[in-house]
Amino acid sequence: DPIGAGRTPLSAASRAADPAGAGGPVGALFADVYGGAGDADVFRREKDRLLQAVGAAAKKNRQKVKSFRKQIAEAEAHEDVKTRADEIMAYQHGYQQGASALTVYDFETGEAKEIPIDALKGPVAAAEALYKKARKQRRTAGAVEPLLEAASREAEYLEQVEFSLRELTGQGGKDDVLALEEIDAELVDARLVKPTGKGAAAEIKRQERSSGGGKGKRGGTPSKPKKKGGRDDPMINIRSYVAPSGKEVLVGRNSRGNEAVSLSIGKDQDVWFHVRGAPGAHVILRQQPGQEASDEDLQYAADLAAFHSKLRTGGKVDVSFTSPKFVRKPSGGRLGMVTIDKERVMLGMPDASEAAEEEASDRAAGKK
């Protein structure tokens, strides 16, 4: 069964979140928590706060990557160090007692060269010290490589989160607000930002106060926000479009939406899309078992994947597509991070996507 309906992203979720159009949970959250500040100003401040946190984390992570790469580069010299030790052992018989160097011949070129030797210790001790150094370098490389791999994955994750934040303009109304809250909660869970009490938790407290609940001695069971239209509604994190054939196309709005699209909602018969080599939304073209996707529908979904990506300004963009059965979460991967075991590639055209047409229409109408 299709999730959501119509081409307007999350219109049903918006109505559930604020059926009257104003004064619903999100509107009350802004008025209650931010002292009546304008929604646009609040949204911009919160978005900037999260972007700064992600930027700081990315800078720190880049320093880690640089350090790990340097350590690995140094450690990879262990073969040269071991070869130097082997050469000393092979030509130690030519060492003159008390000399500060030993003449050896390169194993590959036969070229003569001198290796420094501690005159007080001799060539054997020098070779043993080099063997020890080589073993240590080899161990270091083995220990640091997984750290570099993890830091590289973290860099991809942070770049994806930054992209998701920049995608939220605030023009999407309460859908954008809830998606921003979701990213805030995600970064709190990832320990990249500290809880501010300005998101869903504040909404729960507001509902508790309005219903007389609470955690005090006389308070009853704390009231809980409704799932539909709130943070627990998965469609808050997903955009919905309709392909030319009438099939639904789902587009992740953030990490949680991407993970839901790729790992929970997508079925083997669906088609999964993602721009190659850059941050972007995870996209699925939904269809029934046994159905084949038309070229027109594939192009429609690929264009959306290209538009909802960091490469959206490109005229033509490489887009990977595959079955969701070939999409999996890597061990230890952050929220929304996946790897694909099999793919095909097609060109997506961001400017030809329905999302681009909607944006142009909104801009012409003065909405953006």
pLDDT tens digits for range 9-33? 333 333 333 433 333 444 444 444 4
My answer on whether 163 and 278 are in the same domain is no
At residue 305, the 3 state secondary structure works out as helix
Residue 182 forms part of a structural domain: yes
Question: To 5 degrees, how large is the angle CA 214–CA 220–CA 226?
Answer: 70
* Residue whose structure tokens are 């959306």: 304
Q: For 309, which DSSP code?
A: B
My answer on whether 46 and 166 are in the same domain is yes
Number of domains in the chain: 2
* Residue whose structure tokens are 């320093």: 63
The confidence score (pLDDT) of residue 36 equals 43
Range of the domain at 264: 243-368
My answer on whether 48 and 174 are in the same domain is yes
My answer on whether 55 and 117 are in the same domain is yes
Kindly report the length of the chain: 368
pLDDT tens digits for range 238-282? 999 999 999 999 999 999 999 999 999 999 999 999 999 999 999
Residue 305 forms part of a structural domain: yes
Residue 205 forms part of a structural domain: no
Residue 236 forms part of a structural domain: no
pLDDT tens digits for range 293-347? 999 999 999 999 999 999 998 789 999 999 999 999 998 889 999 999 999 999 9
Spatial contact of 338 and 194, defined as CB atoms under 8 Å apart? no
Virtual CA dihedral for 172, 175, 178, 184, nearest 10 degrees?
Answer: -50
My answer on whether 250 and 349 are in the same domain is yes
Domain boundary among 197, 230, 251: 197
Segment holding 250, helix H or strand E: strand 248-252
My answer on whether 302 and 368 are in the same domain is yes
My answer on whether 80 and 182 are in the same domain is yes
The confidence score (pLDDT) of residue 39 equals 66
Domain boundary among 197, 229, 252: 197
Residue 1 forms part of a structural domain: no
Cβ-based burial of 148 (10 A; exposed 0-12, middle 13-18, buried ≥19): middle
The confidence score (pLDDT) of residue 2 equals 31
Rounded Cα distance, 3 and 174, in Å: 19
Residue 191 forms part of a structural domain: yes
Residue 349 forms part of a structural domain: yes
**Which whole-number Å values give the CA distances from 203 to 14, 259, 334, in the listed order?**
16, 25, 26
End-to-end CA distance of the chain: 34
My answer on whether 265 and 133 are in the same domain is no
* One-letter amino acid of 201: A
Q: Which alpha helices (DSSP H) does 269-338 contain, by range?
A: 295-307
Query: Mean pLDDT throughout 114-132?
Result: 94
Q: What percent of the chain has pLDDT over 70?
A: 78
pTM summary value: 0.66
Asked if pLDDT for residue 205 goes beyond 90, the answer is: no
Residue 365 forms part of a structural domain: yes
At residue 133, the 3 state secondary structure works out as helix
Q: What mean pLDDT, rounded, does the chain reach?
A: 81
Q: For 31, which DSSP code?
A: H
